[in-house]
Amino acid sequence: MCGSCGCSADAVITALTPAHVHDNDAHVHVREQAVDGRHAHLHVGGAGDITRTVELQHKVLAKNDELADRNRRWLRDRGILAVNLMSSPGSGKTTLLERTSKELAGKIAIAVIEGDQETALDARRIQAAGSPVVQINTGVGCHLDAEMVARGLRSLDPPSGSVVVIENVGNLVCPALFDLGEAGKVVLASVTEGADKPLKYPHMFRQADLVLLNKTDLLPYVDFDLQQYMADLRRAAPHALLLQISATTGDGVQGWYDWIRRRLPPPHE
């Protein structure tokens, strides 16, 4: 987390709409909330350093939680569903959002806050699929925080009754620690990553309301014990719903769409 993982104090937000193709427009510079005026990164040496690091971590998380509550109220007051989509790199988050944007077009308004350390590659893909998107580049930061999301929401200005999917930075550790004000947490895993992830990263899966197991079309070609995965997930996250999908072929994605629909708040006038 921020006291020990080297997260950057700076992030750059770029808003893209379906008609917007330039990286250098609408830049907003965001600075993470630093406690007592300094960035909360410490080099841990002795016991005193460790104690100080833990204190700073607690303060950073407390400040983030306060901002996340503001985001939650902002979204609730406007009748908007926000979903925090988390995974390791390469699991298929952007592919899933491309398909979601195209297949729900004209049915549900989808907007995306795209988190990556660098580039707008994924944001361009979402844009081409037809959804408005804000790219947040975190530099060396390994997660989005509530302040970044707040700026992204204001830039997107999503309509009432819409869905905002926050595609977090690819990482199975730090994103689980930071509340963004979302109404639901979704963990996307893929069969190409191996079946051991619920045991190795239990905190991430424990946070999940929904676990999407992606790339199931590749099950015949990879060494993945599906039954063991399901059993380990039940131990790590007994309350999470598991859906098996392929974002590439479309198998199972209707369950994802139904999950979104069930959570949509009524639109506000």
Per-residue pLDDT reduced to its tens digit, 90-146: 999 999 999 999 999 999 999 999 999 999 999 999 999 999 999 999 999 999 999
Domain count of the fold of the chain: 1
User: 13 vs 100, which has greater pLDDT?
Assistant: 100
Tell me the whole-structure pTM to 2 decimals: 0.83
Sheet hosting strand 27-31, strand order edge to edge: 27-31, 10-16, 133-137, 110-116, 163-167, 81-86, 184-190, 210-214, 241-244
Residue 165: pLDDT band with limits 50, 70, 90: very high
111 lies in some domain: yes
Find the mean pLDDT for residues 9-25.
60
pLDDT tens across 67-92, in order?
999 999 999 999 999 999 999 999 99
4 lies in some domain: no
Residue 43: pLDDT band with limits 50, 70, 90: very low
**How much is the pLDDT for 46?**
53
Enclosing domain of residue 187: 10-263
User: In this structure, what CATH number is given to the domain that contains residue 143?
Assistant: 3.40.50.300
123 lies in some domain: yes
Residue 21: pLDDT band with limits 50, 70, 90: very low
Task: Please provide the average confidence, as pLDDT, over all residues in the chain.
Answer: 86
Out of 11-25, 44-58, 221-235, pick the least confident.
Answer: 44-58
**How much is the pLDDT for 60?**
77
25 lies in some domain: yes
Number of neighbouring beta carbons within 10 Å of residue 85: 25
269 lies in some domain: no
258 lies in some domain: yes
- List Cβ neighbours of 186 (8 Å cut-off, separation of 6 or more): 83, 84, 85, 86, 208, 209, 210, 211, 212
Q: To which residue do tokens 């988190």 refer?
A: 115
268 lies in some domain: no
Find the mean pLDDT for residues 152-161.
96
Q: How far is the C-alpha of 130 from the C-alpha of 97, rounded, in Å?
A: 10
Q: Are 222 and 192 in contact (CB under 8 A)?
A: yes
238 lies in some domain: yes
Pairing state between β 110-116 and 27-31:
unpaired
